[in-house]
Amino acid sequence: MIIQPEILKELKEKLLAEKNRVKEELGRIAKPNKTEGDYTTSFSEIGTDEDENASEVEEYTANLALEANLEKQLKEITEALERIENGTYGKCENCAKDISIERLRAYPAAKTCLDC
């Protein structure tokens, strides 16, 4: 599919903004590892009381799930940006059909078309 340059630029900017947002959120709850895009959830020490320990574990468990989700988002965004670079952006990974511009606008990291 030929995506008009100005639309592609708009989608790329969206992806870059989204990437920064996700990275910022990840930075709040996790520490980056040596591998780009890989993070480890931080365990915050609130206190040593039993109650405090329970909150720490609770917070850590919630952050663990959030971190996995954000890491997945970051990976999808990075892959979408790579597809823009190598010219395969906008094609469904599943059926190789073009993904509609409306869908890409709503979800620029989309890998598959609406039918898939």
Count of residues touching Zn ion (by CB under 5 A): 6
88-107 residues near Zn ion, rule: CB under 5 A: 92, 94-95, 97
Q: Which of 19, 2, 13, 15 is nearest to 70 (CA)?
A: 19
Nearer to Zn ion, 40 or 94 (CB): 94
Nearer to Zn ion, 54 or 114 (CB): 114
Q: Which of 116, 113, 107, 78 is nearest to 1 (CA)?
A: 113
- Nearest-approach distance from CB 95 to Zn ion, in angstroms: 3
C-alpha dist (Å) from residue 45 to 58, 60, 101:
12, 10, 46
> Contact residues for Zn ion (CB under 5 A)?
92, 94-95, 97, 113, 116
